[in-house]
Amino acid sequence: MARLCLILFGSPGSGKGTQAKLLKESLGIAHISTGDMLRERVASGDEVGRSVASLMQAGELVPDETVNRLVEEKIDRPECANGFILDGYPRTVQQAELLAELLVMRPIRTIVVHLVVDYNVIVARMAGRRQCPVCGSVYGINSSAPNTVGVCDKDGAKLAVREDDREEVVRERLRAYEQQTSPVLAFFKKSGIPCWDVPAAGIPPQVIAKGIEALIRKERGEAA
């Protein structure tokens, strides 16, 4: 059976990271985060890492060619033999085009899942988050709230609003995400690659993950 490539899309605050973790465990496949991959190369200090570091320090984007090459190297490693989840990639249509070519050359079954959460729900969810400046624990005003309002359960420190969780910043991040992601999703749908919109608001993460697993079985022609 062909390996699975699960391309996971989700706006900030959609729970994409949680789903990637759950699906990695339940499906027994690798999780490829391009952000983590780039940081690993920077830490290695090799030629690619040094070039990437200089770009990131200057606030510039890493070229598509470099990211594509790193992804290609990664998916050919033994840990991806059973399949993999792509998180944070592809971000552009050019990356998506090159990825599609790369996957066609290998026996890999590609499925795209887009976690859909109402705009206002995400704004409320992210703007309602508070973080402990000491241990890094994250709380929500309406869910996962601390035992004492505004105080970390673990060390008693006063909770704070992260800079990127301020409402105006959240709205700008969502606008940028929509502008960037819509053309990529349109490309995959036009290419005939299975693309699924999965509701992800007000539903337990484990239930969402089970639903995604069912979609994958359906696409693979497996029994439920």
Is 125 noted as a catalytic residue in this protein?
A: no
Catalytic residue, chosen from 74, 125, 130, 173, is: 173
Percentages helix, strand, coil for the chain (3-state, rounded to 5) are: 50, 20, 30
Which residue is catalytic, options 3, 21, 39, 91? Answer: 91
Task: Say which of 16, 24, 41, 130 is annotated catalytic.
Answer: 16
Q: What is the DSSP string of 60-118?
A: PPPPHHHHHHHHHHHHTSGGGTTEEEEES---SHHHHHHHHHHHHTTTEEEEEEEEE--
DSSP type of residue 163: G
Whether 218 is a known active-site residue: answer no
Cβ contacts of residue 132 below 8 Å, gap of 6+? 138, 139, 152, 154, 155, 157, 159, 160
> 3-state DSSP call for residue 9?
strand
Residue 175 annotated to the active site:
no
Nearest Cα neighbor of 76 from 114, 107, 43 is: 107
Buried-state track 172-184, b at ≥16 Cβ within 10 A, e below 16: ebbeebeeebeeb
* Catalytic annotation, pick one of 50, 162, 166, 175: 162
Q: Is 166 a catalytic residue?
A: no
* 106: annotated active-site residue: no
Q: Can you read off the two tokens belonging to residue 200? A: 């992800």
- Residue 196 to residues 8, 21, 92, 219, Cα–Cα distance (Å): 10, 19, 19, 11
Q: In this structure, what DSSP letter does residue 25 have?
A: H
DSSP H or E segment with residue 6: strand 3-10
- List active site positions: 16, 91, 129, 162, 173
